[in-house]
Each structure stands twice: as structure tokens, then as C-alpha cells.
Amino acid sequence: VHLASIRDLFFQDKCSPFVNTSECVDTDLFNIVVHIRRPNSHDQDMVHSIIYYNFNDHYILSLIDAVVKKYTAESSHIKDNVRVHIVSQGPSEQFEIYKSMGYILRLNESIEDTFLLMTFADALITAKSSFSYIAAYLNKNDVYYTKFWHNPLRHWYKILN
């Protein structure tokens, strides 16, 4: 089975979470989804998890800024229509810096809703996470891959960390 077949099966009868769902009509918005993986109670070695997963917020902000600039430089239409969605888990106080930038916080949402946002993103910035990886695998658009134990697909952008 080829990746295209798997994608076709996954997206069959699904409407993008970024569209007018009553009519499944696409908007002119360009949606960048950023998955931020924070350590949680499921992590067995909390010290390792904090070191492994916890990128500095300023690093993540600079990464988002670079990705936004890439698309806004390519298209004046996108410039006014970029929306950045932060998907993660945890208390909203941990994400105030992103909220202050005008980014949309999608915290503690259902796994299904978060997964759909990631798979339908116009650009997806992944975390060191198998959950992030599988969403990226299905995403038909641009993926910015953070290196960890799963290898990226050839056409993904590799983030140097």
C-alpha cells in the first residue's frame, strides 16, 4: 500500500477543521499548526523527558517566525491570512508567551480534534513525538520535522536542533 492510498483512505469523507463545516468550504486562511510536546504524567522518566522534549519557548517562537516569513515572502495573499495554532497539553499559563503573539491556543483538546488540525495544516511544525510524526505522515502539505528516532520523509523540511 502506498502513502497516497493511505492518505486517500484517511481523508475520505473528512472536512478540514479550518473550513466552514456546514458547507465544507475552504477559507483563504493559511493555517500553521505547531505541536509543542511537554512532559506529562505518561512519561516514565520525567528528568529525561524535560531535557528531551522541552525546547526553549524562544527557540520555538523563532522557528514559527521563520516559517511565517517563508510563506508571507512567497505570497502577499498569505501575508494577511496566516493563522498560527499551538496544539499541546497543559495549563494555559505555560503558553502565555504564544498567546501574547496572537497565536491561537488549542490546549487540552481531544486527541481526535488535535490530530485533524495537524493533518489538515497548510504547514505543520512537529514535536519529538510519535503522535506528531503520524499526523505529519498523513499531512499532504509542508511538514517541518524535528529530528528524533523516526526518520523523516524525503520531502519534509528538516529542523536543525
Rg, C-alpha atoms of the chain: 16
Residues 6+ apart with CB under 8 A from 157: 142, 143, 144, 145
Q: Classify the C-alpha dihedral 46-52-57-61 as positive or negative.
A: negative
**Predicted pLDDT of residue 77:** 73
**Predicted pLDDT of residue 49:** 47
Please give the order of strands across the beta sheet that includes 82-88: 104-107, 82-88, 30-35, 123-125, 142-146, 157-159
**Predicted pLDDT of residue 8:** 82
Output the CA torsion 150→148→58→43 (10° steps).
100
Are the CB atoms for 86 and 98 separated by under 8 Å?
A: yes
**Predicted pLDDT of residue 141:** 95
pLDDT tens-place string over residues 1-46: 587 888 888 888 887 888 766 666 667 889 999 999 876 555 555 5
Burial class (CB in 10 A: 0-12, 13-18, 19+), 112: exposed
**Predicted pLDDT of residue 66:** 94
Output 54 or 83, whichever has higher pLDDT.
Answer: 83
In angstroms, the CA 131 to CA 109 distance is 14
**Predicted pLDDT of residue 55:** 60
**Predicted pLDDT of residue 106:** 96
Are the CB atoms for 128 and 148 separated by under 8 Å?
A: yes
Helices (H), 54-156: 57-74, 76-79, 96-100, 111-120, 130-138
pLDDT tens-place string over residues 63-75: 999 999 999 888 7
Residue 113 CA to its chain's centroid (Å) = 12
pLDDT tens-place string over residues 113-140: 999 999 999 999 999 889 999 999 999 9
